[in-house]
Chains A and B, each alone.
Chain A
Amino acid sequence: MNRTPRSALDILTEAASAQRVPPPKVSDEEILREAFVRGGARLRRVRRRRGIAAGAVVLCALAAMALLAWWPRGPADVMTTPVSLALGEDVVHAMAGTVLDSDRSGCAPVVRMTEGAALFDVRTIGFTVAVPDGTVRVRGTVFTVVVASGLSRVDVYEGTVEVSSRDEVVVLTAGERFGGNRHAVPDALVLQGRLAARERARSAREDRPQLSEPASAGVEGFQHRSSGPASPRDRGVEESVLLAGPVERRSVASPTTPTAPTTLREPRVEPPSLEAVRALLEAGRHQDARDAILRARPTDDAQGEWALLEGDAERGLRAADRAAAAYERAATHFPPTRAAVAGYLAAVQFAAAGAPVEALAAIERWHVAERGAPLEERGVALRATLLARTGRDREARTSARAYLLAFPSGEARARMQRLLEEASVSD
């Protein structure tokens, strides 16, 4: 009978398996005792380390939460509903993440704003917002301030504010913007600002008869205007007359101590009429027209007309962004047909200001390119051009085709065909 030869591995494995275990040099009791003593100490260490690790995790989590809460973010992407804070009779609608610190110890309240976005609906004359790169002094107005990365942006919806930057002092009126911050104002604040501006305009209309009486130009009149909810635009004008004027006479009277009778006796300036401003514009005197518009006291019904003229004046002064803002403001006061025209003008100015996205938004907002709109043809052509400029080629082609179908012999026919050809080449 043949035996199958075993491999070396099998033999060695068998030898290892059969090896005798040497007897212990110490007793099992001693091994056990030692195991309990050393094992216990090790367990204590393990528990202590686990406690430390758990504490470290908790601390890290807290630190992360604190960091997240502190980390500067773009004001627009935080939340859509602002939180309202009352600072006396003034109201601040602040977005989450906005860092505000109010100081009312002086004669006029000062709000320090280091980060975020907020809308200020202010009644206290002299109210000041201190931002990292300057100060914004209020003359009774509605405005937003956006601060991010140490840079600020101020947008005025109604009334007048004075912005002191590092090297300049600028007086902003409704529809004007100032600042090097490129962050957009959150939509919620824009909406709230427009509502507040309308509310003030409505209040001003109710108050206007009292103001127009000669006797109201006295002390009582001033007191009424400084504390009541007068129209910001009116207030801007009145305050510039009664208190200090735009910039150069701002130290004449303290806004909270309106006791200087000399300032109240200054002659009132007659507000210009629409016709006068139109005449100035036709004569090419855009700066004069703009100054006249700032002095104007438009009724609620004429707000749109005045804003339209303001847009024309700004366009003449080659301030495309301000012109666009004025036209947009005009559109808010007009019925849909005229709003579409004003919206088209705003879109053109936005495009001229190098803001195609805002221009597209204006076209959509005011239904400029919709069927039946007064400037439908131009609106569709402009939309196609802007879409191509923003890299949305497919939508641009669609708009261009829509134009060529609807207006086969339109003015922009050649441009639309070229746009289609370029788009097909780039594809």
Chain B
Amino acid sequence: MRRASAERLGELQLDDAALQGLIADARRWIAHYAGPRSDLDDLVQEAMVELVVALESFRGESSVRTFAHRVVLRTTARELQRRRRTSREVMVQAVPSADDLLDPERALAGRRSLARFYVALDGLSDKLRRAFVLCAIEQLSHQEAADVEGVNLETLRARLKRARAVLEEALARDQVLATYSRRSQ
């Protein structure tokens, strides 16, 4: 099977280096989508397994990278749902920056706020969440995000607008996050 997949990937002119590059991208996409988590490596592994399977049916209608992005995000969304059903524990493991080491208290507050932010993201549907993550967090253009999602621009923009509205509402209800902007400024 590995040989068959390798042949298929060869047809797509994908070598190990390109796939390894996709692994690095997949890790970043997943981190942005799921937030700081201790099971990030598991999510990456699941996404790569799904990618190998999905590449069998890749018809070249988009770039491999866009296709891979779509597969990774959808796999991650599915995995997160599955893990939310089986375990309520979400382990936050953010990587401290140099500034954090200088001000540990501020760093802790920032990590907690980020964790609460991702809890708010959990309140979005998968489609709205993907649209928001692609455009707001990964900062893709609307056209790029629409390509990844396989929808037209209007649909993507409508999802993004709806996602922002839902998140604004959720953050307004959260007393800690509502004051975050004031404290940050």
On A, residues with C-beta under 8 Å from B are: 5-13, 15-17, 19-22, 24-26, 28-29, 31-32, 34-44, 46
Contacts and interface: CB of A to CB of B under 8 A. Distances in A.
A15 B117 CA distance: 10
B36 A42 contact: no
Interface centre among A10, A22, A34 (most CB of B within 10 A): A22
Given A13-B136, A40-B2, A25 B94 contact: no
A13 B137 contact: yes
A21 B51 CA distance: 20
Interface in B1-32: 1-2, 4-6, 16, 19-20, 23-24, 27-28, 31-32
Contacts of B50: 39
Given A11-B180, A15-B110, A16-B118, A40 B52 contact: yes
B86 interface: no
Interface centre among A9, A24, A26, A46 (most CB of B within 10 A): A9
18 contacts: A7-B168, A8-B171, A8-B178, A8-B181, A9-B164, A11-B181, A12-B117, A15-B117, A19-B36, A21-B28, A22-B93, A24-B41, A28-B24, A31-B44, A37-B2, A40-B1, A40-B5, A43-B53
A157 B36 CA distance: 91
Interface size class of B (residues with CB under 8 A): 35 or more
Contacts of B19: 32
B185 interface: yes
Q: Please classify the interface of chain B as helix (H, G, I), strand (E, B), loop, or mixed, using the class held by over half of its residues.
A: helix
A26 B167 CA distance: 35
A9 B138 contact: no
B137 A43 contact: no
A104 to B, nearest CB: 61
B168 A36 contact: no
A9 B1 contact: no
A8 B24 contact: no
Contacts of B139: 17
Contacts of B137: 13, 16-17
B117 A16 contact: yes
A409 B110 CA distance: 107
B144 interface: no
Interface string B126-153: 0000000000111100000000000000
A22 B96 CA distance: 10
B177 interface: yes
B45 interface: yes
Closest 8 CB pairs of A and B: A40-B1, A39-B52, A35-B48, A12-B117, A20-B95, A8-B181, A36-B2, A28-B20
Given A24-B27, A43-B4, 18 more contacts: A6-B181, A7-B181, A9-B164, A16-B35, A16-B117, A16-B118, A16-B137, A19-B94, A21-B27, A21-B95, A24-B41, A28-B24, A29-B20, A32-B19, A34-B48, A39-B1, A39-B48, A42-B53
A17 B136 contact: yes
A107 B5 CA distance: 73
B87 interface: no
B114 A12 contact: yes
Contact of A36 (B5, B23, B24, B178): B5
Contacts of A8: 171, 177-178, 180-181
Contacts of B6: 36
B23 to A, nearest CB: 5
A8 B40 CA distance: 26
